[in-house]
Amino acid sequence: MLYFAYASNLSKKYMASRCPNALPLKKVILKNYKLTFNELADIIPFEGEEVVGGLYLISKQELEKLDILEGYPDLYDRIVVELEDEFGNKYEALAYTMVEKSLQAPPDNYYKILVEGYEDWGIELERLEKAKNME
Protein backbone atom coordinates (compact mmCIF):
# COMPACT_ATOMS: atom_id res chain seq x y z
CA MET A 1 0.00 0.00 0.00
CA LEU A 2 1.04 3.62 -0.47
CA TYR A 3 1.89 5.88 2.46
CA PHE A 4 2.38 9.67 2.34
CA ALA A 5 5.08 10.96 4.69
CA TYR A 6 5.29 14.69 5.38
CA ALA A 7 7.01 14.80 8.77
CA SER A 8 9.64 12.74 10.63
CA ASN A 9 9.05 9.70 8.40
CA LEU A 10 10.42 11.74 5.49
CA SER A 11 13.85 11.06 6.96
CA LYS A 12 14.84 7.90 5.12
CA LYS A 13 17.10 6.87 8.02
CA TYR A 14 14.34 7.42 10.57
CA MET A 15 11.73 5.63 8.45
CA ALA A 16 14.13 2.68 7.91
CA SER A 17 14.50 2.35 11.70
CA ARG A 18 10.71 2.12 12.00
CA CYS A 19 9.83 0.18 8.83
CA PRO A 20 12.98 -1.42 7.39
CA ASN A 21 11.20 -2.76 4.29
CA ALA A 22 9.46 0.51 3.35
CA LEU A 23 10.40 1.51 -0.17
CA PRO A 24 10.77 5.25 -0.86
CA LEU A 25 9.22 5.90 -4.28
CA LYS A 26 9.03 9.60 -5.18
CA LYS A 27 8.39 13.15 -4.08
CA VAL A 28 4.69 14.07 -4.28
CA ILE A 29 2.38 17.01 -3.59
CA LEU A 30 -0.78 17.09 -1.49
CA LYS A 31 -2.89 19.97 -2.81
CA ASN A 32 -5.27 22.09 -0.74
CA TYR A 33 -3.61 21.13 2.56
CA LYS A 34 -1.24 23.06 4.78
CA LEU A 35 1.59 21.86 7.02
CA THR A 36 1.18 23.01 10.63
CA PHE A 37 2.65 22.13 14.01
CA ASN A 38 0.78 21.01 17.10
CA GLU A 39 4.17 20.30 18.68
CA LEU A 40 4.28 17.45 16.14
CA ALA A 41 3.70 18.00 12.43
CA ASP A 42 0.15 17.90 11.11
CA ILE A 43 -1.72 18.58 7.89
CA ILE A 44 -4.97 20.50 7.68
CA PRO A 45 -7.26 21.22 4.73
CA PHE A 46 -6.41 24.67 3.39
CA GLU A 47 -7.53 25.87 -0.04
CA GLY A 48 -4.68 27.00 -2.29
CA GLU A 49 -1.84 25.59 -0.14
CA GLU A 50 0.12 22.40 -0.68
CA VAL A 51 2.26 19.99 1.30
CA VAL A 52 5.25 18.34 -0.36
CA GLY A 53 6.25 14.94 0.96
CA GLY A 54 7.44 11.48 0.13
CA LEU A 55 5.54 8.48 -1.15
CA TYR A 56 6.48 5.10 0.32
CA LEU A 57 5.38 1.59 -0.53
CA ILE A 58 4.69 -0.25 2.74
CA SER A 59 3.26 -3.62 3.73
CA LYS A 60 0.18 -4.23 5.86
CA GLN A 61 2.48 -5.26 8.73
CA GLU A 62 4.41 -1.98 8.44
CA LEU A 63 1.14 -0.03 8.46
CA GLU A 64 0.16 -1.81 11.67
CA LYS A 65 3.55 -0.89 13.16
CA LEU A 66 3.16 2.74 12.04
CA ASP A 67 -0.31 2.83 13.60
CA ILE A 68 1.25 2.02 16.97
CA LEU A 69 4.20 4.40 16.54
CA GLU A 70 1.95 7.27 15.37
CA GLY A 71 -0.53 6.78 18.21
CA TYR A 72 -3.44 5.81 15.95
CA PRO A 73 -6.33 6.40 16.60
CA ASP A 74 -5.89 8.58 19.70
CA LEU A 75 -3.07 10.98 18.68
CA TYR A 76 -3.24 10.63 14.90
CA ASP A 77 -6.09 9.50 12.66
CA ARG A 78 -5.56 7.87 9.28
CA ILE A 79 -6.96 9.43 6.11
CA VAL A 80 -6.75 8.69 2.38
CA VAL A 81 -5.32 11.54 0.34
CA GLU A 82 -4.87 12.17 -3.37
CA LEU A 83 -1.32 13.08 -4.33
CA GLU A 84 0.33 14.24 -7.52
CA ASP A 85 3.90 13.90 -8.76
CA GLU A 86 5.85 16.38 -10.87
CA PHE A 87 4.45 14.84 -14.08
CA GLY A 88 0.81 15.11 -13.02
CA ASN A 89 0.43 11.40 -12.17
CA LYS A 90 -2.06 10.88 -9.34
CA TYR A 91 -1.81 8.49 -6.41
CA GLU A 92 -4.06 7.60 -3.48
CA ALA A 93 -2.19 7.03 -0.25
CA LEU A 94 -2.70 6.79 3.49
CA ALA A 95 -1.60 9.70 5.66
CA TYR A 96 -1.82 10.54 9.33
CA THR A 97 -3.43 13.72 10.64
CA MET A 98 -3.66 14.79 14.28
CA VAL A 99 -6.94 14.30 16.11
CA GLU A 100 -6.57 17.42 18.31
CA LYS A 101 -5.84 20.62 16.41
CA SER A 102 -3.90 23.52 17.92
CA LEU A 103 -0.76 25.48 17.09
CA GLN A 104 2.41 24.77 19.02
CA ALA A 105 6.05 24.97 17.89
CA PRO A 106 7.98 21.70 17.51
CA PRO A 107 10.85 20.67 19.81
CA ASP A 108 14.32 21.22 18.29
CA ASN A 109 15.32 17.54 18.17
CA TYR A 110 12.10 16.63 16.32
CA TYR A 111 12.51 19.56 13.92
CA LYS A 112 16.05 18.39 13.05
CA ILE A 113 14.64 15.02 11.91
CA LEU A 114 12.19 16.88 9.67
CA VAL A 115 15.00 18.96 8.16
CA GLU A 116 16.92 15.74 7.45
CA GLY A 117 13.87 14.31 5.70
CA TYR A 118 13.35 17.42 3.60
CA GLU A 119 16.97 17.21 2.51
CA ASP A 120 16.63 13.47 1.74
CA TRP A 121 13.75 14.14 -0.67
CA GLY A 122 15.05 17.45 -2.09
CA ILE A 123 12.18 19.52 -0.65
CA GLU A 124 12.70 23.24 -0.08
CA LEU A 125 13.09 24.06 3.62
CA GLU A 126 11.11 27.29 3.17
CA ARG A 127 7.79 25.41 3.56
CA LEU A 128 8.95 23.77 6.78
CA GLU A 129 10.23 27.04 8.22
CA LYS A 130 6.97 28.77 7.34
CA ALA A 131 5.02 26.11 9.25
CA LYS A 132 7.41 26.31 12.23
CA ASN A 133 6.95 30.08 12.37
CA MET A 134 3.17 29.49 12.18
CA GLU A 135 2.74 31.62 9.07
Which of 70, 86, 100, 119 does the annotation list as catalytic?
70
- Tell me whether residue 6 is annotated as binding: yes
DSSP 28-57: EEEEEEEEEEESEEEEEEEEEEEEEEEEEE
Q: Residue 118: exposed, middle, or buried by beta-carbon count in 10 A (0-12, 13-18, 19+)?
A: buried
**Is 91 a known ligand-binding residue?**
no
User: Is 5 annotated as contributing to ligand binding?
Assistant: yes
Instruction: Please tell me whether 7 is known to bind a ligand.
Output: yes
Q: Is 33 annotated as belonging to a binding site?
A: no
Are 105 and 132 in contact, with CB atoms under 8 Å apart? Answer: yes
User: What type of residue is 39?
Assistant: E
Residue 123, SS3 per DSSP:
coil
111 is in an annotated binding site: no
70 is catalytic: yes
Can you say which residues are annotated as belonging to the binding site?
A: 3-8, 110
- What are the catalytic residues? 70
- Residue ranges of the binding site for substrate: 3-8, 110
